[in-house]
Structure 1
Amino acid sequence: MSLTDIRIDNEYNSDSNIILNNGDTLEYLKTIPTGTIKLAITSPPYNVGKDYEVKTSIENYLATQEKVIEELIRVVSEDGSICWQVGNYVEDKEVFPLDMYYYQIFKKHGLKLRNRIVWHFGHGLHAQKRFSGRYETILWFTKSDEYTFNLDSVRVPSKYPGKRHYKGDKKGQLSGNPKGKNPSDIWEFVAKEWDEELWNIPNVKANHPEKTIHPCQYPIELVERCVLALTNEDDWVLDPYAGVGSALIGALKHNRKAMGVDKEKDYIELGKQRIQDFYNGDLKIRPLGKGVHKPSGKDKVSQIPEEWKDNYKK
């Protein structure tokens, strides 16, 4: 299958399944019809001085992002959602938790927070003057109380499926749901998909199968869980900071329509190639729910060095 067969449009076209545009996020959002999008999901620039960012004060940064958020609210349908995935902004060695700042912006514009989801990962930058950060958060907002939420698509196995009511009219009847239980807002994917309650998804570093040239790429499976829960087939999923297309691929994988924009041309071209590789069956994707690697202790790297054995804390 070629890119012409796939048909990736640059501009909004209601007949398309994939739109990936190289341009300014705010200007592109203004071209999208009101109420078109069921789910807007993204990880915006954190203003930490990456190659694709221009570092500015946190006040200016948030003011710029608020303009983008205003347009996102316009293009998202009344039963739609916005998932805003962020970490921390660091200035002069002080940490500013971005989710707290963004919460105020979304609330000011009338959105309702449904969950603050914790994404935990085991590897990242090490710190010397504070504890090393190992999580980021996803703020899930809706425009109204009538929003799409497919609970059955994201249930986790019950720990005690045979539990029964012990009193009342339902005494003796099974108390759970045969499809599993409702997960909490802290999920962990360890041995089985949806099996625990902390989103323990590896971040995309050097040995991750999805790794590209993008310095802050997030994993496809992080998007998939939101897509399954918050959209239906053929709904539009939008990433306003599309990068190399991870969110689009997560949507296309589950028969949704995908739209994205990014100002970096190299990322857009790589995103198009990744979409083609996905449809050709050549794209390496970490499977949804795959267990996180745990060292066996048999390999040399995971063993305690002889030089450390006298003072190493287990």
Structure 2
Amino acid sequence: MREPADTARPDNAANSGIVLHHRDFLADAVNVPDGSIDLIVADPPYGLGKDYGNDSDMRSGDAFLDWTYGWLALAIPKLKASGSLYIFCTWQYAPEIFVFLKRRLMMVNEIVWDRRVPSMGGTTRRYTSVHDNIGYFAVSKDYFFDLDPIRIPYDAVTKKARSRKLFEGSKWLEMGYNPKDLWSVSRLHRQHAERVDHPTQKPLEIVERMVLASCPRGGRVLDPFMGSGTTAVACARHGREFVGYEINADYHGIAQQRVAGVRPVLVVAEPAAAVDAASIEQG
């Protein structure tokens, strides 16, 4: 198996704040200063026995939960007072993980990712599972959240239907509405142009939404389980610093290649300041 360099710092100046460690986060967390991270995006093993080229997903039951609680306990202190955390998980373990986090952080949302799995039979003893759970937590009520970059534009017909004089000049009408807590985004099937050689690669669309909304421009994102580097790509595209960890050498190499090929997105407006939790209920 190929052993890539420990970190990647591409020549592209826009990617100079992207650091990709070929290490285990649990062993190296001490080297990430406490209070230095704006956002954690975590897509850890789900405890379902997936093959990542090692035994990292072979724990189950209490052993898996104990391991999860361990790395979360290491990661949470890295967040700033305005910081937040997204964690991907499966319904089998989401209740226990969310209870653990709610004792240490403020829960903002439970997001359901509808993976748009086509109907192709499946189990006959229960309903077919076609979603992932995403927990969204913050350190305090003063967490950073910028709605404007992730607003969803209204289509022309809907916009026209809401074009009464009462709504003229409304920001939400012109810029779009607040994404809901059900995210319907297709999983990356084998023929998808974005797909690389990783069994549980997440769509860039989902991770970009997290980065744009929950990390200020120039802020720093931590990914303890980097995989193929999707969060690193999102940060490189949108002017955020990044530090990520991946123990599989091949996946680390894929992440390096993906980041090296990033072309930054032109930014027109600066993000908003931190907001109180109550202020994001209206969009």
Cα deviation, residue 8, structure 1 = 11
Contact preservation (8 Å) 1:114, 1:140: yes
Cα deviation, residue 81, structure 1 = 0.7
Distance 2:211 2:252 in 1: 21
The 1:114–1:269 alpha-carbon spacing in structure 2 relative to 1, beyond 3 Å, is same
Give TM-score, length-normalised by structure 2: 0.79
Give the structure, 1 or 2, with the largest relative contact order (CA under 8 Å, sep 6 or more): 2
Distance 2:70 2:212 in 1: 28
Pick from 62, 82, 89 the counterpart of residue 85 of structure 2. 82
Give yes or no for the alignment of 1:5 onto 2:11. yes
Corresponding residue for 1:292? none
Pick from 55, 58, 65 the counterpart of residue 55 of structure 1. 58
Give yes or no for the alignment of 1:115 onto 2:109. yes
Cα deviation, residue 279, structure 1 = 4.3
Give yes or no for the alignment of 1:276 onto 2:279. no
User: Which has the larger Rg?
Assistant: 1
Distance 1:5 1:249 in 2: 15
- List aligned pairs for 1:173-252, cutoff 5 A: 177=172, 178-186=174-182, 199-252=183-236
Contact preservation (8 Å) 1:161, 1:176: no
The 1:100–1:269 alpha-carbon spacing in structure 2 relative to 1, beyond 3 Å, is same
- List aligned pairs for 1:55-204, cutoff 5 A: 55-88=58-91, 96=92, 98-109=93-104, 111-123=105-117, 127-129=122-124, 130-157=126-153, 159=158, 160-163=161-164, 177=172, 178-186=174-182, 199-204=183-188
CA offsets 1:264-290 (integer angstroms, 9 cap, x no match): 111101110111122499xxxxxxxxx
The 1:261–1:175 alpha-carbon spacing in structure 2 relative to 1, beyond 3 Å, is closer
Alignment root-mean-square deviation, CA: 2.7
Contact preservation (8 Å) 1:42, 1:247: no
Cα deviation, residue 4, structure 1 = 5.2
The 1:269–1:105 alpha-carbon spacing in structure 2 relative to 1, beyond 3 Å, is same
Distance 1:22 1:61 in 2: 22
Cα deviation, residue 173, structure 1 = 7.6
Contact preservation (8 Å) 1:223, 1:251: no
Distance 2:57 2:151 in 1: 41
Letter in 1 for 2:128: S
Letter in 2 for 1:81: S
The 1:181–1:244 alpha-carbon spacing in structure 2 relative to 1, beyond 3 Å, is closer
Corresponding residue for 2:19? 19
Structure 1: 5+ residue stretches without partners: 10-15, 89-95, 166-171, 187-198, 282-314
Secondary structure class of the residue paired with 1:183? coil
When you count helix as a share of all residues, which structure comes out higher? 2
Structure 2: 5+ residue stretches without partners: 1-7, 266-283
Distance 1:139 1:106 in 2: 9
Secondary structure class of the residue paired with 1:241? coil
Cα deviation, residue 253, structure 1 = 1.0
Distance 2:231 2:170 in 1: 37
Contact preservation (8 Å) 1:47, 1:55: yes
Contact preservation (8 Å) 2:45, 2:57: no
Give TM-score, length-normalised by structure 1: 0.71
Corresponding residue for 1:46? 46
Give % identity: 28
Distance 1:137 1:42 in 2: 12
Give the aligned length: 247
Contact preservation (8 Å) 2:23, 2:245: yes
